[in-house]
Amino acid sequence: MTQGNAVGGGLFLFGGVGLLCFAVDQLTKVWALAEFASGAPTRWFADGILGFGLRFNYGASLSIGESMTWVFTLLGIVAAIAIPVFVRGGSRLWALALGFVWGGALGNLADRLCGEPFGRGPVTDFIAYGNWFTGNVADVFLVLGALALVVLMAAGQAPAALERADG
């Protein structure tokens, strides 16, 4: 396989995974909006460890920074543009992990851009983790991708963009 095919394959994998994660996130949010009433009691299963309950989060993780929604929108836009830079010339594992992060970031960014008011809309959360916090599928993809990136870095696999910068 030539380097060009490896790069193209990595970009294709990244884009495919990212867009699939984005689509799954948005479809599950459509389902949650149709299935649950905002603020209604959480429907618990797994002995109260996991449940479903619709919440709208104007802040970041754990509703931190609710008055600064525009900052999270700006960070989401930067992430949506910057993440693909790390895919070029990298391994398929990096492309896969970054695809999860990118898809999750796009999912939450879409909520912020499409919600009212524009650019400062809430993120739709519906997966309750005990009494700790409520999140969504985009958050799951973000965490899975971030964990995979930590494992890759711990294994000594640097992203191609950083290798080029050192080179």
State the catalytic residues. 125, 139
142 vs 123: CA distance, rounded Å: 14
Cβ atoms 145, 99 nearer than 8 A: yes
Residue 138 backbone phi and psi in degrees, to 5: -60, -40
For every one of its 167 residues, what pLDDT tens digit does the chain have, with 9 covering 90 and above?
334 444 567 889 999 999 999 999 999 999 999 999 988 899 998 888 999 999 998 876 656 666 777 887 888 899 999 988 878 777 899 999 999 999 999 999 999 999 888 788 899 999 999 988 899 999 999 999 999 999 999 998 876 654 554 44
Q: Which of 6, 8, 14 is nearest to 99 (CA)?
A: 14
Distances (CA, A) of 102 to 1, 12, 54, 167: 26, 13, 24, 26
Delimit the domains of the chain by residue range. 3-166
Cβ atoms 99, 15 nearer than 8 A: yes
141 vs 98: CA distance, rounded Å: 10
Tokens 């985009």, residue?
Answer: 138
Single pTM value for the model: 0.85
The pairing of beta strand 123-129 with beta strand 43-45:
unpaired
